Structure 1
């Protein structure tokens, strides 16, 4: 499942958030730009995907474009798993809701943790830390597949970095996942050595190299 986590999520626990056709699926556009194929090597699955969208973000070991598709952007990443880690609840962390979305989007713009849209928050539990009433750090759950939940959107305002807020929230989100009897995993940029070292200190272990690639349908 972790080899193709988005497909495992969209064809499983998060099917309610999917637009699906045959062997392809995408999150609803106001939730996430990610999509997935049951088998990226199947040309028919790429045709199914073209019936859903002409612009999609895919992840996997090394996704190559199917007929009629081209890569417009690519980033190397690392998938990490927390099979032996221990989560830690944080008494200062607050649960973020849809009323917090405007502030969340402002923080995402400042910290740039990756894609986050108006309804991304429906995918799972998001926690934040406020300083003087202002949201300065957050983390939450994104892809959910059988037995696993991804920690995502780990973001800290640049003016508050270096204080361990992201680490605290990562552990707090992990505590919630572990408390449900699931295991946490996450993705990080392959060239972000600081983040990779941090996640290893928190108990995550590298699982596999992945690629995040933006695809556009030429038709």
Structure 2
């Protein structure tokens, strides 16, 4: 499969490759184990119903990642989050003014609490095992973080870009995304990310770092 084709169905590809250990696999779909991340993908549109029925038995709050919204009357959609998929073209490293450190197992709960404070809805404590996470601390308090989520043989997704509301406008997000991007490049892989299409401030930040738009994606959120 060409790398461009992997971008079209990133959850599927991640669960076929680097994240296969986290996968629940059926003929119709690829699904993260619910305790890791409530994300799923289908292989073809005519397989949606069976895939939805399978994952609904595993968890009651989940997201299907697709290029189009997934709408089924028997599975009421709670929300459709339209995202811009972006990939790194030419990295423009930021100026680093804060100490960024790798997060350890002891920091897992603090990261979970910070993500849910800033951006609730998808992150679970065991999402921490999907990749490397980095943070900035104010003494003992985790105030900002970023890390790696979807992973394939060719690309790694930057995700969980969060800053405590009391510490915004300090350049923390830009520095953390830059640091995480450098780490992905060092692994010989392409950094990608997904950002809500309505979040023009974040999109502008990522463009300054060298990311470019590739295509629209949809996170369809189901609560049963």
TM-score of the pair, normalised by structure 1: 0.90
Shift in alpha-carbon separation, 1:87–1:33, aligned structure 2, 3 A: farther
CA shift for structure 1 position 68: 4.4
- How far does the alpha carbon of each residue in 1:19-59 deviate from its partner, in whole angstroms, 9 at most, with x for none? 122231211111111111122x123x531442243543012
Q: Which residue of 2 aligns with 1:51?
A: 54
Q: Which residue of 1 aligns with 2:3?
A: none
Distance in 1 (alpha carbons) for counterparts of 2:119 and 2:72? 30
CA shift for structure 1 position 87: 5.1
Alignment of 1:1-219 (within 5 A): 1-39=6-44, 41-43=45-47, 46-54=49-57, 55=60, 56-65=62-71, 68-86=74-92, 92-112=99-119, 115-215=122-222
Question: Is the CA contact 1:93–1:169 (under 8 Å) kept in the aligned structure 2?
Answer: yes
- Three-state SS of the structure 2 residue aligned to 1:208 is strand
TM-score of the pair, normalised by structure 2: 0.88
Q: Structure 1: any 5+ residue segments left out of the alignment?
A: none
Question: Is the CA contact 1:83–1:204 (under 8 Å) kept in the aligned structure 2?
Answer: yes
- Alignment RMSD: 2.1
Paired residues in the alignment total 215
Q: Structure 2: any 5+ residue segments left out of the alignment?
A: 1-5
Distance in 1 (alpha carbons) for counterparts of 2:160 and 2:18? 20
